[in-house]
Structure 1
């Protein structure tokens, strides 16, 4: 592993990164089914805000949430592997992942949506078995400015293919831990899902100016995941902007 770091270079990065997250297209009031009085909703919202951990009140959650969650869950002694673990973290610290294009974000998030949410909950198997025709989920696309000198791992991929292993993170998590310990703001690597670039940011201070760019809808069918710019319709694949097998 020591030789891996020999000769690494920095990429002076000043660009908009794409962040693709789960989000409803239309916000729902979580308390309007408890009372018909809007004043009661406001009271409930104040109590909810007061009960949140102090580090979950960021004004830019699309930037800060991965770091907030890692800090919060680090205090919990889970008897199993931390669910906040990722390619460059064992879950003990937060990593913000962005990509170069919306297409790259789709390939990356479709994989995690299927493997870490639908499959774990048994929903994917229901669709495969024909018990359900489809499962849908809404996404929100942000553009976030990044200004940092990032460690560039892209030239290393041909020598160390474990950097983009589609399943195992055993090689990459120690890399992220060392860069975090040494105070590096982040890294650039290649996507394990497609021909695209991935940015793993370790310091939220190098991110700024998040803006909503668009919304997507994912629809899992037996043929794969159909990705639409608008809400999915009965036309299915005919409406799809992308299809991921």
Structure 2
């Protein structure tokens, strides 16, 4: 839990002998320094979505900026991740069987000033499950206006709620909990908890 001054010194020192911290930190030039929540538990996890961009895009981003996606519970997170992993792995040629391990992260964050999309009807184009045109336009506007993020209904788990943070600044803590595995056999055929804290 280094503060801003300690972070710079530690980052430079580690970079001299170990390339792993540089890879873990990602491209810090992609995030405004004022948005990094120095000193919180799990600062690296909080900034990862913003320094390791998914250039293919996501629900609220075309891929030119990061969004930290959060879910109301583990089941919702699994439903969301499962959908996106299946879409990705279906495009890998000749992938027959594999096992992918994921970390469950527990996040505490502030909802202050988040845009509440839960008031919109579920048939709004922003919630189209496989066409992100409207949601990405909203995400781009939110990013341009420096909005902290949005709260929205999950499109993968009926009745569940998700959040898309446009900055890690609202995060108070983000720590690792369980490890889970997704078993791939021409699709995700099972999701198992493999370790718990």
Scaled to the shorter chain, the TM-score interval is 0.7 to 0.9
Match of residue 120 from structure 1: 91
CA offsets, 1:20-75, max 9 Å, x none?
A: xxxxxxxxxxxxxxxxxxxxxxx99824258656628x8722110111124xx9xx
Are 1:218 and 2:182 an aligned pair?
yes
Match of residue 66 from structure 1: 49
Q: Structure 2 unaligned runs (5+)?
A: 1-13, 30-35, 37-41
CA distance in 1, matches of 2:20, 2:192: 34
**In the superposition, relative to structure 1, how do residues 226 and 205 fare at CA in structure 2: closer, same or farther (>3 Å)?**
same
TM-score using structure 2 length: 0.74
Contact 1:66–1:96, Cα closer than 8 Å, also in 2: yes
TM-score using structure 1 length: 0.60
Q: Structure 1 unaligned runs (5+)?
A: 1-42, 74-81, 128-133, 232-245
Contact 1:157–1:190, Cα closer than 8 Å, also in 2: no
Match of residue 103 from structure 2: 140
TM-superposed CA distance for 1:222, in Å, is 5.5
TM-superposed CA distance for 1:157, in Å, is 3.2
SS in 1 for 2:130: coil
Are 1:193 and 2:166 an aligned pair?
no
CA offsets, 1:182-225, max 9 Å, x none?
A: 22100011111112211000121101211222111111235742
Structure 1 vs Structure 2 CA RMSD = 2.7
CA distance in 2, matches of 1:180, 1:205: 13
Number of aligned residue pairs: give it.
Answer: 167
Are 1:184 and 2:147 an aligned pair?
yes
Contact 1:157–1:163, Cα closer than 8 Å, also in 2: no
Contact 2:82–2:188, Cα closer than 8 Å, also in 1: no
